[in-house]
């Protein structure tokens, strides 16, 4: 049989997953000679042997590749034979000019490593930093590509002879595992008091931490992507103390449980949910809680039917959870609205008032990455916060070939960078209000393009001039476009699902700046191949109070009623929002609503939720934006009977269709007079919005409907909307790999930027 030598180039997600060892073993099995190496563009192989064997080798490269790896391209080239006799792994070239490989996310401990951890006599028995080619830290420890130990935060740990032998043994699971470590050469634990004094080390540190958790203390733990705060999830007093100290009064707290068996003692788990929980990304999954259980009642709002649960993500978490035998609260190590802590000394300062003890280690975290949050909608995993386990994997968007940058929004920010058909999304970077989050945002903006080796040619940001991200955009010397907030929401879904116009984009959210300078949020946008327009929207209303109104649903409710019925509303003393305000506050609001210059105008469905929550007297003050809307969802979900929609008629105006909530409000107030159960009223409100979505879709004459924007984080609304629209024959899409909230803006902005550049190139091409 004739001998051949082939040069094989593999591109995609091929580094850090044991790809080279896999290639090595495969070449051995096939009896081929040659070599494999990692370079920044991907994996390069030269293999020599009989031509038919080479062909089956190349086939197996694709069909047998390691779990999680993604091959986007295999190219081959015939070379002259060199007569080599064995196969080897060559070191990475250090002078690569182009960085094109993907960076892997951090992956939860694999089953084999968990087994090592609990196997008496194993040399990694109870070692909290064990990992292998298939699991462990990646993105949080990578300094630069190509992915090799000297370019990670493991560089200062010299391998011991045993680890070195495993690292060099192609038959070993840890062959070329860059973060390989063991008790004699790797990172170690220590337990600090709030003064930073070492109380215990190694196993003793772990055991003292467990004692503290059993006693109801708050432990700050240096995890994979940053500090977490841990506390016994059954201890209401400890949970309350954590809430107060962290200034997180109402938002639900995530839990970590030992294994699927423990989760099932507290929650219902579907097959899709179980797969998410136990997968290598190991996100927080929102699950329906069981009624009878011994968890602290203050983990979530009273009405919340769900719990956010994750399984252990690192060996350290496995040890803690198994030793303790009870679930832990595992929430981000930060004060409310601030970035995650990653460094011990910083944690001592920032978490001093929260944590009783600090369980730390000496492996640096180079990049903060929060836990991801996912729920299952219509059988599909749907992101609520995309971070650990997912970031910075790209989404395939073949249309976008140029290197571009998008700066995202202001809340729940993410960044996006594109290159050759792929869009890389940063991890969730959070709200950009505090100076510390702004600093961190600037840092990511500066370092992420370098890490990915992308030099953007142009950038996109939101049209809102007050967003911190928009302000940063002005400081970057690149051609820039501003993308309308709700257009970006719709385009994010188009990018994710590869959709083309024509389609109808329902963008329902809190507030975003519209092209008419009012605050949109209840829009139906028509996207045609020739451009887009605002096709329909919620009848705009004024509200007063600015930022304060976002925490006071009564302000929104009275603004809405005042816009409809004028001064007469002040006489209607039966209205819950009037009763909720002190006389002085009511007087100020009355004056403000009578002065258009003190008001803002909005068409936001998110704000309509606020108004309803206030009118039902469900909630009159919020600790975070959207809290009232969330409670309204929970209240509606508690209604098990049928719920007739109230009318929200569409009325034609010269600019488009206007959805008028007045008949809904009249009907609601009548139902309140009848003292109908409030869960029924909340359910009727949801049914009304779902009916409105259907009417808007049928009115549009379009077949494809996109649902996007923060309102579609509402599980009840989204699930019912998908159902009713699909039954009526529409093709329905919603954000799944990116969140429906502002975390998806950057993805939409980058597609809008690409589209704009294409149009401009087209126009200038004609004028030549």
User: Binding residues for Zn ion, per CB under 5 A?
Assistant: 110, 113, 132, 134-135, 160, 163, 182, 185
Min separation Cβ 409 and Zn ion, Å: 37
Length of the chain: 768
* Beta carbons within 10 angstroms of residue 188's beta carbon: 18
Min separation Cβ 130 and Zn ion, Å: 7
> Is there a cis peptide before residue 478, judged by omega within 30 degrees of 0?
no
| Pick 108 or 397: Cβ nearer Zn ion | 108
| Pick 107 or 397: Cβ nearer Zn ion | 107
Helix H or strand E segment including 752: helix 745-767
Looking up tokens 């803006």 gives: 745
Is the Cβ–Cβ distance between 671 and 681 less than 8 Å? yes
| Pick 132 or 319: Cβ nearer Zn ion | 132
Min separation Cβ 144 and Zn ion, Å: 24
Min separation Cβ 271 and Zn ion, Å: 24
| Pick 164 or 567: Cβ nearer Zn ion | 164
Nearest to 340 by CA among 222, 248, 231: 222
Is the Cβ–Cβ distance between 357 and 349 less than 8 Å? no
Q: Using CA atoms, how far apart are residues 720 and 596, in angstroms rounded to an integer?
A: 37
- Which pairs with CB-CB distance under 8 Å and at least 24 residues apart come from 292-295? 293/265, 293/266, 294/234, 295/233, 295/234, 295/255, 295/266, 295/327
Q: Is 435 exposed, middle or buried (0-12, 13-18, 19+ CB in 10 A)?
A: exposed
| Pick 155 or 336: Cβ nearer Zn ion | 155
Min separation Cβ 145 and Zn ion, Å: 22
| Pick 130 or 755: Cβ nearer Zn ion | 130
Q: List Cβ neighbours of 320 (8 Å cut-off, separation of 6 or more).
A: 206, 209, 210, 213, 221, 230, 312, 328
Is the Cβ–Cβ distance between 383 and 373 less than 8 Å? yes
Instruction: Give yes or no: 741 in active site.
Output: no
Q: Using CA atoms, how far apart are residues 491 and 506, in angstroms rounded to an integer?
A: 11
Min separation Cβ 373 and Zn ion, Å: 24
Q: Which tokens go with 526?
A: 């028509």
Strand extents, DSSP E, 674-766: 704-708, 731-733
| Pick 18 or 577: Cβ nearer Zn ion | 18
The sign of the torsion formed by the CA atoms of 45, 49, 52, 53 equals negative
Is the Cβ–Cβ distance between 501 and 493 less than 8 Å? no
Active-site residue among 11, 20, 124, 174?
20
| Pick 159 or 448: Cβ nearer Zn ion | 159
| Pick 18 or 368: Cβ nearer Zn ion | 18
| Pick 171 or 596: Cβ nearer Zn ion | 171
Q: Using CA atoms, how far apart are residues 208 and 190, in angstroms rounded to an integer?
A: 10
Active-site residue among 5, 7, 11, 38?
38
Tally of CA atoms within 13 A in the half-sphere of 336 that contains its CB? 14
Min separation Cβ 159 and Zn ion, Å: 6
Min separation Cβ 68 and Zn ion, Å: 12
Nearest to 187 by CA among 242, 124, 276, 142: 124
Q: Is 724 exposed, middle or buried (0-12, 13-18, 19+ CB in 10 A)?
A: middle
Q: Which tokens go with 466?
A: 């007050």
Q: Which tokens go with 206?
A: 């772990």
Instruction: Give yes or no: 95 in active site.
Output: no
Min separation Cβ 279 and Zn ion, Å: 14
Nearest to 541 by CA among 486, 593, 465, 617: 593
Q: Mind telling me the catalytic residues?
A: 20, 38
């Amino acid at each position: 049989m004739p001998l051949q030598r082939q040069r094989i180039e593999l591109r995609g997600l091929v580094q850090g997953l044991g790809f080279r060892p896999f290639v090595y073993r495969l070449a051995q099995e096939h009896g081929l000679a040659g070599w494999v190496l990692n370079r920044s563009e991907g994996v390069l192989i030269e293999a020599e042997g009989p031509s038919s064997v080479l062909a089956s080798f190349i086939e197996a490269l694709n069909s047998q590749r390691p779990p999680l790896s993604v091959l986007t391209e295999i190219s081959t080239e015939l070379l002259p034979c060199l007569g080599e006799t064995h196969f080897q792994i060559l070191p990475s070239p250090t002078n690569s000019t182009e960085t094109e490989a993907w960076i892997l996310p951090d992956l939860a401990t694999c089953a084999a490593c968990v087994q090592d951890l609990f196997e008496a006599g194993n040399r990694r028995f109870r070692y909290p930093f064990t990992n292998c080619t298939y699991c462990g830290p990646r993105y949080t420890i990578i300094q630069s590509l190509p992915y090799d130990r000297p370019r990670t935060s493991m560089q200062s740990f010299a391998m011991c002879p045993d680890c070195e032998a495993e690292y060099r043994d192609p038959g070993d699971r840890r062959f070329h595992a860059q973060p390989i470590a063991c008790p004699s050469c790797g990172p170690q634990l220590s337990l600090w008091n709030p003064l930073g004094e070492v109380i215990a080390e190694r196993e003793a540190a772990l055991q003292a931490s467990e004692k503290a958790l059993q006693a109801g203390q708050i432990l700050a733990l240096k995890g994979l992507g940053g500090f977490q705060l841990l506390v016994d999830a059954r201890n209401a007093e400890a949970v309350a103390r954590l809430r107060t100290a962290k200034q997180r009064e109402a938002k639900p707290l995530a839990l970590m449980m030992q294994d699927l068996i423990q989760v099932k003692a507290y929650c219902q788990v579907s097959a899709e949910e179980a797969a998410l929980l136990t997968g290598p990304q190991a996100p927080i999954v929102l699950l329906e809680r069981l009624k009878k259980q011994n968890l602290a009642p203050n983990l979530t709002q009273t009405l919340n039917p769900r719990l956010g649960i994750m399984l252990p993500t690192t060996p350290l978490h496995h040890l803690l959870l198994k030793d303790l035998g009870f679930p832990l609260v595992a929430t981000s190590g930060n004060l409310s609205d601030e970035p995650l802590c990653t460094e011990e000394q910083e944690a001592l300062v920032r978490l001093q008032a929260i944590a009783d003890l600090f369980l730390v280690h000496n492996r640096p975290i180079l990049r903060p990455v929060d836990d991801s949050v996912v729920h299952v909608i219509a059988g599909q995993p749907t992101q609520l916060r995309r971070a650990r386990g997912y970031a910075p994997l790209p989404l395939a968007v073949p249309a976008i070939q140029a290197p571009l940058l998008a700066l995202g929004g202001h809340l729940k920010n993410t960044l996006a960078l594109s290159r050759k058909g792929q869009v890389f999304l940063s991890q969730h970077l959070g709200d950009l209000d505090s100076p510390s989050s702004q600093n961190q945002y600037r840092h990511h903006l500066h370092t992420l393009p370098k890490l990915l080796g992308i030099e953007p040619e142009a950038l996109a940001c939101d049209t809102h001039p007050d967003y911190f991200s928009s302000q940063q955009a002005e400081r970057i010397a690149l051609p820039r476009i501003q993308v309308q907030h709700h257009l970006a929401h719709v385009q994010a879904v188009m990018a994710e699902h590869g959709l083309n116009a024509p389609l109808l984009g329902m963008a329902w959210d809190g507030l975003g700046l519209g092209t008419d300078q009012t605050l949109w949020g209840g829009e139906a946008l028509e996207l045609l191949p020739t451009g887009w327009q605002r096709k329909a929207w919620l009848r705009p209303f004024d509200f007063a109070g600015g930022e304060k109104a976002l925490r006071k649903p009564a302000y929104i409710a009275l603004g809405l009623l005042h816009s409809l019925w004028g001064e007469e509303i002040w006489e209607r003393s039966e209205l819950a929002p009037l009763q909720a305000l002190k006389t002085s506050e009511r007087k100020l609001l009355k004056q403000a609503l009578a002065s258009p210059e003190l008001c803002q105008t909005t068409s936001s469905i998110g704000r309509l939720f606020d108004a309803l929550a206030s009118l039902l007297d469900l909630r009159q003050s919020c600790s975070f934006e959207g809290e009232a809307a969330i409670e309204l969802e929970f209240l509606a979900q508690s209604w098990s009977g049928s719920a007739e929609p109230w009318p929200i008629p569409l009325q034609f105006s010269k600019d488009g269709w206007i959805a008028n909530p007045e008949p809904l409000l009249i009907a609601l107030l009548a139902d309140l007079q009848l003292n109908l159960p409030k869960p029924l009223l909340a359910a009727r409100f949801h049914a009304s919005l779902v009916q409105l979505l259907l009417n808007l879709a049928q009115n549009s004459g379009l077949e494809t409907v996109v649902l996007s924007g923060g309102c579609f984080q509402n599980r009840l609304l989204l699930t019912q909307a998908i159902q009713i629209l699909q039954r009526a024959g529409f093709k329905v899409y919603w954000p799944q790999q990116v969140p429906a909230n502002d975390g998806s803006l950057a993805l939409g902005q980058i597609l809008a930027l690409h589209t704009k550049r294409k149009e401009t190139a087209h126009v200038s091409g004609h004028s030549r």
